[in-house]
Amino acid sequence: MFRSFIGSWQFWALGSAAFAALTAIFAKVGVAGVHSDLATFLRTLVILALVATMVWIGGTWQPPAKIPGRTWLFLVLSGLATGASWLCYFRALKAGDAARVAPVDKLSVVLVAIFGVVFLGERLSAAAALGVALIAAGAVLVAVG
pLDDT in tens, 19-32: 999 999 999 999 99
| Whole-angstrom distance, CA of residue 112 vs CA of residue 104 | 14
Which pLDDT score is estimated for 72? 97
| pTM over cut 0.85 | no
Which pLDDT score is estimated for 114? 96
| Whole-angstrom distance, CA of residue 123 vs CA of residue 116 | 8
Mean pLDDT of the 58-86 span: 96
- End-to-end, the C-alpha distance of the chain in Å comes to 41
108, 82 contact by CB (below 8 A): no
Which pLDDT score is estimated for 4? 83
Which pLDDT score is estimated for 46? 97
Of 48, 45, 39, 30, the C-alpha closest to 98 is 30
Mean pLDDT of the 69-76 span: 97
Which pLDDT score is estimated for 42? 96
- The secondary structure element, H or E, covering residue 62 is none
Which pLDDT score is estimated for 134? 96
pLDDT digits (tens, 9 = 90+) for 15-65: 998 999 999 999 999 999 999 999 999 999 999 999 999 999 999 999 999
DSSP state of 106: T
Which pLDDT score is estimated for 119? 96
pLDDT digits (tens, 9 = 90+) for 89-129: 999 999 999 999 998 998 999 999 999 999 999 999 999 99
Domain locations in the chain?
Answer: 2-105
